[in-house]
Structure 1
Amino acid sequence: MFDWEDLRHFAAFVRAGSLASAAKALAVDHATVARRIASLESALNLKLVDRRSRAYVLTHQGLRIAEFAEQMSASSFALEHYAGADQPDVQGEVVLSAPPVLLGSLIAPHAGTLLVQHPALSLRLVGTKSRTSLARREADVAVSLARPLESTLVASLLGHLDYALYASPAYLAQAAKPRFIGYDASQAKSIQHRWLVEQAKGGDFVLCSNDLRVQALAAAGAAGIVCLPAFIAAEHGLQRVDPEADTLNIEVWMAFHEDVRATPRIQAVGEFVRTCMAVLPRL
């Protein structure tokens, strides 16, 4: 009989894609993950990975066992939350993932109110630019800038982010050729960056970052023109480049798994997120 902990470590390796990433997710060292995988192979009498010089690669048998491991992880997740749904009190940990700028500006500043209201609740806030945390059940509640499509998720529209072109008053006072601040290559295919490129009409991009707050700070320092949601621009004292110009509208969605929708702590956090997002300004 195999050890459940061995299977859990193997499942983490499959999700993370490397020993180092799995070790980080599990808060252990990579040698422990490697040892657990070897132990699972021995118990099952199957070769699950090819051990190459720079990486572990799943074998055909490893791919099949990975499917079972994911099913068992999902069942364990569902069982845990099914049990939690019958607890009348709001208690336990909720992992909430969202784009970092929303966590920093709209959610974290109000977390104290939620925790005072529910003293047995604890929050773990995870900044992410994708929905992978929810798809992999690494989060309980996820906020994203695109509607989730998975049939197992319950999704609701929270509001809209209105993006426009902003710059500092000092920059706008200049008569120089327009300079632009955009995303780096990791976010070059995002809707926001593609819209900014269209608005720039061939203008020079002089600074790039994958972090909106860094972009906003650079714009506040008169580095150039930036594409930002209205609330971030207001935080940094930036002004619309042209109040009559086009804006970009992006939906904000919240989602969680169907099997946790009745859990009191999920309901409490969901309502908290809705309240935080209700203040999103419109242009």
Structure 2
Amino acid sequence: MFDWENLRHFLAVGNAGTLSGAARSLRVDHATVSRRLVALEDELQVVLVERLPRACRLTPVGIQVFEQAKAMESTAFAIERHTRATQAPLSGKVTLSAPPVLATHFLATRMADFQTTYPGIQLSVTAEARQVSLSRREADVALRLIRPKESSNVVRRIGRMRFALYASHHYPALHDPSHWTFIAYDEQFADMPQQKWLLNIAGQRPVSCELSDISGHFIAARAGAGVAGLPCFLGDADKQLVRLDESGAPFSRDIWLVTHRDLRRSETVRAVMGYLGEAFQSSPELEPGQR
């Protein structure tokens, strides 16, 4: 039987794409990651990773092991959550404010699992782009795309949401970038970072339509209305969309988990925050932060 710690280090390499990136995510040194990787390959008697000058590339067998390892890690997290919930029954209502894209396309898909894990906690999720006030108890916990500056908050980065350009497979100008038209936000979101990024890429090319929320952008792009800037975790998962090559700089937004310092000792709030942290940690498409 192989050592789980060796497999955990291999997972980090697969997620990061480099030994140094894996070392940073695990808070260990480069040599430890390399040693663990060699040990796993010796245990399994197979080459999992091709070492390149500036990166690591999974071999065909490595890709298969990586997918199985991700499932094992997800199960391990689930066992930990269920065990903790059994040992300390929790009850009550926790309100969570989150950006619409995360509330609709990430959190909603995990509500059934959360209810199974913490049947006594009622999680009330509000999808809103505005920055709620935790001091005024507008929410108990919040996910934010801008790091909060309030001294009364407890903050942790739990992920990074990468963006790319997407269009429908049936978009008429799919292979002719000079004729691309873009799906953007309306004027009230002119200062939003992803709006500036998208319009900078668009340049002199026209905006075909404006929609006030990213779910609208997603639906419009699937319908062939133009090119949209979407989170990669959303665009890559949809078979009707294709990721487009772009000449602009890569763009991403950090995801911050925050609560008021007076609530950090609340068992129900701690349970919700722990669950969210593990949900992002087990979702490499959102580039998890350090635990």
User: Using a 3 Å threshold, how does the CA distance of structure 1 residues 145 and 193 change in structure 2: closer, same or farther?
Assistant: same
Residue by residue over 1:49-100, the C-alpha shift from the partner in whole angstroms, topping out at 9 and shown as x without a partner, is xxxxxxxxxxxxxxxxxxxxxxxxxxxxxxxxxxxxxxx6421100011011
Which consecutive unaligned segments of at least 5 residues does structure 2 have? 1-87
Which of 198, 204, 222 aligns to 2:206? It is: 204
Task: Describe the SS at the equivalent of 1:113.
Answer: helix
In the alignment, does 2:250 pair up with 1:247?
yes
The 5 Å alignment of 1:1-283 reads: 89-171=89-171, 172-173=173-174, 175=176, 177-237=179-239, 238-242=241-245, 246-278=249-281, 279-281=283-285
User: Using a 3 Å threshold, how does the CA distance of structure 1 residues 203 and 117 change in structure 2: closer, same or farther?
Assistant: same
Task: Describe the SS at the equivalent of 1:108.
Answer: helix
| Alpha-carbon distance in structure 1 between the residues aligned to 2:143 and 2:268 | 16
TM-score (norm 1): 0.65
Task: Describe the SS at the equivalent of 1:281.
Answer: helix
User: Using a 3 Å threshold, how does the CA distance of structure 1 residues 280 and 136 change in structure 2: closer, same or farther?
Assistant: farther
Q: Is the 8 A contact 2:167 2:228 kept in 1?
A: yes
Q: Is the 8 A contact 1:97 1:133 kept in 2?
A: no
Structure 2 counterpart of 1:58: none
Q: Is the 8 A contact 2:159 2:286 kept in 1?
A: no
Post-superposition shift, 1:281? 1.0
Structure 2 counterpart of 1:56: none
Post-superposition shift, 1:134? 2.6
Task: Describe the SS at the equivalent of 2:151.
Answer: coil
| Alpha-carbon distance in structure 2 between the residues aligned to 1:225 and 1:146 | 25
Structure 2 counterpart of 1:17: none
Post-superposition shift, 1:101? 1.3
For residue 258 of structure 1, what is the amino acid of its counterpart? R
TM-score (norm 2): 0.63
User: Using a 3 Å threshold, how does the CA distance of structure 1 residues 233 and 102 change in structure 2: closer, same or farther?
Assistant: same
Task: Describe the SS at the equivalent of 2:179.
Answer: coil
Q: Is the 8 A contact 2:233 2:286 kept in 1?
A: no
| Alpha-carbon distance in structure 2 between the residues aligned to 1:95 and 1:132 | 11
Task: Describe the SS at the equivalent of 2:265.
Answer: coil
| Alpha-carbon distance in structure 2 between the residues aligned to 1:207 and 1:162 | 23
Question: What RMSD over aligned residues (CA atoms) do the two structures have, in Å?
Answer: 1.9
User: Using a 3 Å threshold, how does the CA distance of structure 1 residues 226 and 135 change in structure 2: closer, same or farther?
Assistant: farther
User: Using a 3 Å threshold, how does the CA distance of structure 1 residues 177 and 239 change in structure 2: closer, same or farther?
Assistant: same
Structure 2 counterpart of 1:18: none
Task: Describe the SS at the equivalent of 2:170.
Answer: helix
Which consecutive unaligned segments of at least 5 residues does structure 1 have? 1-87
Residue by residue over 1:206-233, the C-alpha shift from the partner in whole angstroms, topping out at 9 and shown as x without a partner, is 1111111110111111111111110111
Structure 1 counterpart of 2:10: none
User: Using a 3 Å threshold, how does the CA distance of structure 1 residues 235 and 135 change in structure 2: closer, same or farther?
Assistant: farther
Post-superposition shift, 1:280? 4.6
% same residue:
31
Structure 1 counterpart of 2:18: none
